[in-house]
Each structure stands twice: as C-alpha cells, then as structure tokens.
Amino acid sequence: MLGPLLNSRSGFIRNGVLLYKQLIRPMMYYACPLWRAAAHSHIKKLQVLLSKCLRTATIAHWYVGNRQIYDDLGVPYFSDNIRSVTERFDSKLPEVGNPIFAQLGKHLR
C-alpha cells in the first residue's frame, strides 16, 4: 500500500526510510515475542517484504546486497530483532509478581 509513496517518482523519496521506520517497522514488530513460535518460512516471507520496502525506499540498485542496506541504515534484520526483543521480554518476566508469568519464558522457548 505504501508503494506509491516509496517509488522514485513520488516527492516523498527523501523520506522513504523515515516512512519505513515509522509506519512499516512498528506494524511488523508488534507482538514480537510471539513471532518466535512462527515457522522459519513465515519469518523469511516477512524478511523479504521488509527488504523490498527498504530497497524501494533507498532506491538501491540490484547489485547492492540487502545486508549492506540494513547495515548502512542501522536497521536490524527481522529475525535478529525478534531474538533481541524476545530476550529482553524474557528477562523482565521474573520481575512480574505473578508466578505464572514468571515461568512463561521457559514454556515459550
């Protein structure tokens, strides 16, 4: 849906990465700890979608690798971010007063 805003003919191309970071990425990372239960193939499809969005937003040529685009923009890969958010989520669970929630991290792995 954001394709018309991110393409090279729109006037928003300078703000393409900003649009990605403020509109697309929050929607993809919502409820990130639950993504760890998803199949690798589903995670891969989401990674491809995010890579296409970033490639369109930066007007990167075909010979520029996705890893280079992510590194230049300082954006983590989707699977790497799922792992880090999940670890932070699991580390905060024991601080919750409810013993059921404190053990939740062990059962979700």
Domain boundaries, the chain: 3-108
Quote the CA–CA distance of 27 and 71 in Å, as a whole number: 21
pTM of the model as a whole: 0.69
CA 61 to chain centre: 22
Contact present, 45 and 35 (Cβ < 8 Å): no
pLDDT digits (tens, 9 = 90+) for 25-59: 888 778 777 787 888 898 899 889 888 888 887 87
pLDDT exceeds cutoff 70 at 6: no
**Of the candidates 41, 18, 71, the residue with the CA atom closest to the CA atom of residue 5:** 18
pLDDT exceeds cutoff 70 at 17: yes
Residue type, 34: L
Quote the CA–CA distance of 46 and 27 in Å, as a whole number: 11
pLDDT exceeds cutoff 60 at 12: no
